């Protein structure tokens, strides 16, 4: 099952560019995601400029980006901005960073494997993602510009008439190629977890990070083909004029625009969990490690995530309460949506139980993990209003929805990704990030982030529609201009904080402190090996003797943790921890 490499690659192309090593591929996904995160974040700043200062020229870059409007953003340009911002952040920033990078990096190391089950397929997965990103980026430069139908691309807005030109077609093609990449990765992740676990590691000895990554891969394997089919039909409508999503009232067509919405959200709601499940798993592990306690309700957390995966397949209709669903069907989707909040609540309460009375170490990864607990709580609570038909009819397509899903996805997943970067950076690169710069980065990310997203909830409650070019054109919305300006200034501070992060990464890669093999005194298998790990991870495949969160056990005197690979409790000085493999960086 496992395609082992008979020798270590030595050439630059085989070692760095077309590597089959899961650790190198993880770094490729990480830098690809960070690149698109910068692009998507820049588009967000342009969106907030238009809402804070409607019709005014964008300073510094406006004359270059918006030549035809004297540096101001046109209505068509604004539509393109929010379309591409949403697309990039979900599919080209968060997905490569969290699923691609940390799924690839952590799964083999955490389960005691030498690599992924299919290393060649893994390499193809990254390069398909890179081609997908290149197609999307190229769409900015074609005649007519990039896609303008919103990140959901509902027909008829995404049909050839309302959105002519090549940009919208390239949008669909890029997401189709990205789906192929994701499907390759999902097959690899699931096979690796099921077939390559170290001896002694049952499902309930796996770290919760692996649970999150594996369950997300299951959803990808099941539902990515659904959105791929929708995108293929959309491309055929645009290129071959097939009419799948063209209303039957038009001559020569028997299609239905709502068919696309059904297909999109059958994938789209599980996509929320595809992105958040890895973050849930990472946060569950980090809270245990930095609270120096076993994860509270470990099995309940794993089973709650599994229950959410199953239930996520039957709740998508709450995105469509306003399209004319039958009341019976609407009530069924509402009831299922309320039910899925129950395992989510179990997960949240288990996090609080892990933190409670813990010996908390406020290292940078823990700060970001604690921030995820707060912002996910905000996102979950505000989601209940959108899951109920009566309140959703009023709040649907308002800024309240934008605030909700940015708390749930943008905030939770971004902060979870940053927690993962700060936690595994020493293992990936053999260098420690600066803790002082990390704390500056945290506070100037967490506080402005809430000043960006919470006011959106207020605006939506006040009736402000989303995707509106100039809200001040309406008298009842003019009162929100100061609030939009607050959001705009906070977004700038949030963006500048990421410059601190970039400086920290670049400086640490060049001159950072050499990382020990286990700087956090963690207990999972990746910390048994060197920092960074050797080519095939382990000199010998480890044997697992216990669960992943053995901290502060009774009778331990020399230290407060016990690795999964250790055969007995080192209760006396004569039983020291086994020495890890020396770090190549230190050597």
Query: What are the tokens at 573?
Result: 């000085």
Q: How far apart are CA 486 and CA 464, in angstroms?
A: 16
Residue 15 pLDDT:
77
What 3-state DSSP class applies to 398? strand
pLDDT at 384: 94
Q: Are 170 and 138 in contact (CB under 8 A)?
A: yes
Residue 243 region by backbone torsions, left for phi larger than 0, else alpha for psi between -120 and 50, else beta:
left
Percent of the chain with pLDDT over 90: 82
SS3 call for 234: helix
Mean pLDDT of 199-205: 94
476 with 376, same domain: the answer is yes
277, 305 contact by CB (below 8 A) = yes
Are 508 and 434 a contacting pair, CB within 8 Å?
yes
Distances (CA, A) of 293 to 277, 296, 499: 22, 8, 34
Instruction: Let me know whether 572 and 499 are in one domain.
Output: no
Considering 514, 533, 567, which residue would you say is the last residue of a domain? 514
Domain membership flag for residue 95: no
- Give the bridge partners for 247, in sequence order: 255
Angle at CA 228, nearest 5°, toward 219 and 384?
50
Q: Does residue 524 sit in helix, strand or coil?
A: coil
Q: H/E/C letters for each residue in 69-102?
A: HCCCCCHHHHHHHHHHHHHHHHHHHHHHHHHHHH
Task: Please tell me the distance from the alpha carbon of residue 221 to that of residue 183, in angstroms, as a whole number.
Answer: 6
pLDDT of residue 579: 52
Q: Which pLDDT score is estimated for 559?
A: 83
Neighbours of 536 (CB within 10 A): 16
The CA-atom distances, in angstroms, between 538 and each of 32, 198, 453, 528 are: 27, 11, 44, 8
- 525 and 500 in a common domain: no
With cut-offs at 50, 70 and 90, classify the pLDDT of residue 572: very low
Residue 351 token pair: 């996090």
Instruction: Measure the CA–CA gap between 219 and 529, rounded to whole angstroms.
Output: 31
Q: Is the pLDDT of residue 581 over 70?
A: no
Q: Around Cβ 585, how many Cβ atoms within 10 Å?
A: 15
Question: Is the model's pLDDT at 447 over the cut of 70?
Answer: yes
Per-residue pLDDT at 585: 45
pLDDT tens column, 378-414: 999 999 999 999 999 999 999 999 999 999 988 999 9
Task: Taking the CA atoms of 150, 156, 158 and 160 in sequence, report the sign of the dihedral they define.
Answer: negative
How distant, in Å, are the alpha carbons of 43, 80, 155, 261, 324 from that of 149? 16, 8, 8, 13, 21
Q: Is residue 562 part of a domain?
A: yes
Judge if 534 and 486 occupy the same domain. Answer: no
Torsion of CA 368, 372, 373, 379, to 10 degrees: 160
- On average, the pLDDT of the chain sits at 91
Query: Residue 20 falls within a domain, yes or no?
Result: no
504 and 457, same structural domain? Answer: yes
How many other β-carbons are positioned within 10 Å of the β-carbon of residue 425? 25
Residue 586 has a pLDDT of: 40
User: Measuring CA to CA, which residue among 290, 287, 268, 289 is closest to residue 353?
Assistant: 287
SS3 assignment, position 149? coil
pLDDT in tens, 92-136: 999 999 999 999 999 999 999 999 999 999 999 999 999 999 999
Domain around 391: 367-401+411-514
Higher per-residue pLDDT: 315 or 67? 315
In the predicted model, is pLDDT for residue 372 greater than 90? Answer: yes
Which residue do the tokens 């956090």 mark? 520
Boundary residue ending a domain (474, 499, 514): 514
H-type alpha helices, 356-512: 364-387, 389-395, 399-405, 412-429, 435-461, 481-511
Closest of 276, 555, 545, 540 to residue 416, by C-alpha: 276
What phi, psi does 320 have (nearest 5°)?
-125, 25
Strand partners, 255: 247
Q: Which residue, of 475, 495, 514, is where some domain finishes?
A: 514
Residue 538 has pLDDT above 60, yes or no: yes
Query: What DSSP assignment string belongs to 159-224?
Result: STTTS-SSHHHHHHHHHHHHHHHHHHHHHHHHHHHHH-PPTT--GGGS-HHHHHHHHHHHHHHHHH
Give the residue among 552, 556, 587, 551 at the shortest CA–CA distance from 571: 556
The verdict on 539 and 526 lying in the same domain is yes
436 and 389 Cβ atoms separated by less than 8 Å:
no
Instruction: Return the axis-axis angle of helices 435-461 and 364-387, rounded to nearest 10°.
Output: 10
CA distances for 314 relative to 226, 288, 310, 330, 505, angstroms: 14, 32, 8, 12, 41
| pLDDT at residue 249 in the model | 57
Assigned domain for 509 exists? yes
Q: In 3D, which of 287, 214, 201 has the Cα closest to residue 545?
A: 201
* Tally of domains within the chain: 2
Work out the average pLDDT over 543-571.
Answer: 82
**pLDDT for the residue 552:** 80
- Look at residue 580 and tell me if it is in a domain: yes
Q: Is 267 helix (H, G, I), strand (E, B) or coil?
A: helix
pLDDT at 558: 77
Mean pLDDT calculated for residue range 193-207: 95
3-state DSSP percent of the chain in helix, strand and coil, to 5: 65, 0, 35
Q: Is the pLDDT of residue 248 over 80?
A: no
Residues 447 and 574 in one domain: no
Provide the whole-model pTM. 0.93
Q: How confident is the model at residue 68, as a pLDDT?
A: 76
Q: Are residues 505 and 385 in the same domain?
A: yes
Task: Quote the CA–CA distance of 411 and 140 in Å, as a whole number.
Answer: 27
The pLDDT of residue 254: 73
The per-residue pLDDT for range 131-153, each reduced to its tens digit, is 999 999 999 999 989 999 999 99
Please tell me whether residues 465 and 541 are part of one structural domain. Answer: no
> Does 504 lie in the same domain as 377?
yes
Specify the pLDDT at position 554: 76
Encode pLDDT of 149-190 as tens digits. Answer: 999 999 999 998 899 999 999 999 999 999 999 999 999 999
CA atoms of 431 and 511, how far apart (whole Å): 8
Look at residue 5 and tell me whether its pLDDT is greater than 60.
Answer: no
Residues 528 and 497 in one domain: no
Do both 496 and 524 map to the same domain?
no
With respect to residue 388, please indicate whether it lies within any of the assigned structural domains.
Answer: yes
pLDDT at position 253 is: 63
Which of 365, 349, 403, 334 is closest to 326 using CA atoms?
Answer: 334
Nearest CA-CA partner of 464 in 390, 456, 381, 379:
456
520 in any annotated domain: yes
Q: What percent of the chain has pLDDT over 70?
A: 94
**Is 144 part of a structural domain of the chain?**
no
């Amino acid at each position: 099952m496992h395609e082992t490499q008979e020798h270590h690659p030595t050439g630059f192309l085989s070692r760095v560019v077309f590597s089959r090593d899961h650790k190198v591929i993880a770094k490729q996904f990480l830098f690809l995601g960070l690149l698109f995160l910068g692009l998507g974040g820049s588009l967000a700043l342009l969106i907030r400029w238009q809402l804070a200062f409607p019709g005014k020229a964008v300073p510094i870059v406006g004359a270059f980006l918006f030549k035809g409007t004297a540096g101001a953003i046109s209505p068509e340009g604004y539509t393109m901005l929010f379309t591409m911002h949403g697309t990039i952040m979900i599919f080209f920033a968060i997905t490569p960073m969290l699923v691609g990078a940390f799924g690839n990096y952590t799964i083999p190391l955490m389960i005691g494997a030498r690599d992924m089950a299919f290393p060649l397929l893994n390499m193809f997965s990254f390069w398909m993602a890179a081609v997908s990103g290149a197609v999307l980026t190229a769409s900015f430069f074609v005649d007519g510009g990039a896609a303008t139908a919103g990140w959901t691309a509902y027909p008829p807005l995404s049909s050839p008439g309302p959105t002519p030109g090549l940009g919208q077609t390239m949008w669909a093609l890029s997401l189709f190629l990205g789906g192929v990449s994701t499907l390759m990765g999902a097959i690899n992740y699931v096979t690796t977890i099921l077939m390559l676990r170290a001896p002694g590691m049952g499902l309930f000895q796996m770290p919760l990070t692996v649970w999150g990554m594996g369950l997300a891969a299951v959803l990808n394997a099941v539902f990515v083909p659904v959105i791929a089919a929708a995108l293929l039909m959309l491309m055929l409508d645009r290129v071959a004029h097939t009419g799948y999503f063209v209303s039957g009232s038009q001559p020569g067509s028997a299609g239905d625009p709502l068919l696309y919405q059904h297909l999109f959200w059958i994938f789209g709601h599980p996509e929320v969990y595809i992105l958040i499940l890895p973050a849930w798993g990472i946060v569950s592990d980090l809270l245990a490690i930095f609270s120096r306690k076993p994860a509270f309700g470990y099995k309940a957390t794993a089973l709650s995530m599994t229950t959410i995966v199953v239930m996520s397949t039957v709740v998508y209709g709450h995105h469509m309460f306003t399209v004319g669903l039958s009341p019976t069907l609407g009530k069924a989707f509402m009831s299922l949506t309320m039910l899925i909040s129950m395992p989510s609540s179990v997960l949240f309460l288990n996090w609080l139980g892990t933190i409670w009375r813990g010996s908390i170490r406020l290292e940078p990864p823990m700060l970001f993990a604690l921030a995820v607990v707060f912002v996910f709580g905000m996102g979950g609570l505000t989601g209940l209003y959108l899951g109920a038909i009566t309140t959703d009819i009023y709040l649907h397509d308002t800024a309240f929805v934008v605030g909700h899903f940015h708390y749930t996805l943008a905030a939770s997943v971004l902060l979870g990704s940053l927690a993962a970067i700060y936690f595994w950076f020493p293992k990936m690169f053999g260098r420690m990030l600066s803790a002082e710069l990390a704390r500056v980065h945290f506070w100037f990310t967490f506080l402005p982030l809430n000043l960006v997203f919470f006011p959106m909830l207020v605006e939506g409650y006040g009736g402000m529609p989303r995707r509106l070019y100039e809200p001040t054109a309406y008298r009842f919305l003019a009162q929100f201009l100061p609030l939009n300006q607050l959001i705009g200034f906070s977004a700038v501070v949030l963006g500048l904080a990421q410059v601190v992060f970039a400086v920290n990464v670049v400086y640490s890669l060049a001159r950072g402190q050499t990382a020990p093999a286990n700087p956090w005194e963690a207990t999972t298998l990746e910390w048994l090996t060197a920092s960074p790990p050797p080519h095939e991870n382990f000199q010998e495949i480890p044997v697992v003797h216990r669960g992943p969160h053995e901290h502060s056990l009774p009778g331990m005197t020399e230290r407060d943790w016990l690795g999964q690979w250790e055969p007995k409790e080192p209760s006396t000085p004569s039983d020291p921890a086994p020495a890890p493999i020396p770090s190549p960086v230190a050597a």
